[in-house]
Copies of this chain bind each other. A is one copy, B any other.
Amino acid sequence: MSTVKEVCKLAGVSTATVSRTLKNPERVSEKTRERVFKAMQESGYRPNMLASSVKTGKSNALVVLVPNLTNPFFLKIIQGIEQAAQEKGYSVLLGDTQGEPERENEIASMVLSNRADGLIHLDHSFPFSKSDAHLADRVPVVSVCERIKGDKEFPVIELDNYAATRSLAKHLVNYGHRKFGIIAGQEESRIHHDRLAGIKGVFADEEIPFDDNMIVGGAYSIEVGQEGARELMAKPERPTAIFCFNDDIAIGAIFELKKLGLRVPEDVSVVGFDNIKVTAFMDPPLTTIDQPAHEMGRKAVEVVLQIINNVPLRRNREIFPFNILERESSGPVNPNF
C-alpha cells in the first residue's frame, strides 16, 4: 500500500497538502487538488484510517454487544444499527457474548483501547469488568431493549413493555380467558419485570387472581418454550392461554402443544413477543407484539453518536411504540377444555 509520501512525490506537494485535499478540499487550490487526486489514483493510495485515528482520537467505529446472535430479533436491531452507522461513516464491530461475562468484558474493553468510540449493548448486564468499571463513565454507552443494571444510568432505547403486555392480556381476556400460563425468559431483567407488571395490571383490573406457580421458563429459546408448555400443561389447573415472553419461546410452545394433541388456538391460545419474521408464516400465525426493531437500532446509533459528540440528550429513555398483531394463534376460550 502506498502512503502519503508517495503521493507527495508524485504530485510534488507536501504531506499537509495531500491531507488537506481529502479533509479540507476547500483549502487547496483547484489546480493542485487535481494534481493530488491524479497522484492518488496513480499510486493507488488509500489513507490509512488507523493512522488518522491515532491522531484524531476517533476510531469511527461502534461496538455492538449481543447476548445471542442467533436470535432473529436481535438481527433486526443490528441491521438497523449497521445501516445507520454506515450512513454516518461509522463501522460496526460485532461482539457475540454468548452470555459469558468474560467475553462481555473483553469486548467492552475495545472501547477502552480506542478500537471503538462507543458501545451499544443489547443486554442488561453491566458490560465492564470490575477493574474497568471506574473507566466506564467516560465511555459512550447506550442499551437497546434492556436497561443496564448498576449505579450508573445509561441511556436506553426501549419499548413500553408494560403497555405491550397489557394489550396482550386485554386481548386474551376479551376472548374470555381466565386461566393463564407464562413462559418467561431471564427473570432478573427489567424487561421481565415490566412485562409481568403489565399482565398483573390487567388481572387486577379484571379481578383475575394471579398465580406465581404459572410462571415457568428461564431463557429465551425454543427449547425453553417446549419445556415450559409441557410443564404448564401438567399443572393441576391447565391454562387456556399462554404468554410467551418472546417468539422463540412461542414457537417451542406451540410445537409442543401440538405434540401433546392440543389445538392452537381452539384448545389453548398462545401469544408471543417481538414479531420475528417467521411468526407470520407459522401454522397458526402467531399473535405477537411488533417491535420496531430496525428503528430502535437506528435510534441507538443516533443516541450514541450524540454522546460521542457531546450533544446533550433530550431524554435518557427513548420509548418506542409497539403494535399488537392479532393473528390466529389466539382465539376464544374453549368452554369444554
The residue on B at minimum CB distance from A96 is: B82
Is A311 interfacial (CB 8 A cutoff)? no
Is A103 interfacial (CB 8 A cutoff)? yes
Contact count band on A? 35 or more
Say yes or no: A277-B70 contact (C-beta < 8 A), given A93-B91, A94-B93. Answer: yes
Chain multiplicity (copies): 2
Is A78 interfacial (CB 8 A cutoff)? yes
Contacting B at CB under 8 A, from A92-121, are 92-96, 98, 103, 106-107, 109-110, 112-115
Q: Find out whether the CB atom of A70 lies under 8 angstroms from the CB atom of B79.
A: yes
How many angstroms between the C-alpha atoms of A265 and B263 in the bound complex? 20
Mask, A14-54, CB within 8 Å of B = 1, is 00000000000000000000000000010010111111011
Say what secondary structure dominates the interface of chain A: helix
CB neighbours of A204 from chain B (8 A): none
Q: Find out whether the CB atom of B75 lies under 8 angstroms from the CB atom of A70.
A: yes
The residue on B at minimum CB distance from A89 is: B106
CB neighbours of A112 from chain B (8 A): 1, 46
The residue on B at minimum CB distance from A112 is: B46
Pairs A–B under 8 Å by Cβ, sample size 9: A48-B54, A49-B115, A50-B50, A54-B54, A61-B93, A86-B103, A91-B110, A93-B93, A258-B283
Task: Give residues in A with beta carbon < 8 Å to B.
Answer: 1, 41, 44, 46-51, 53-54, 59, 61, 64, 69-70, 72, 75-76, 78-79, 82-83, 86, 91-96, 98, 103, 106-107, 109-110, 112-115, 131, 134-135, 138, 222, 251-252, 255, 258, 277-278, 281-283
New contact pairs (6) apart from A69-B82, A91-B95, CB-CB < 8 Å: A46-B109, A49-B114, A50-B115, A70-B72, A83-B96, A93-B93
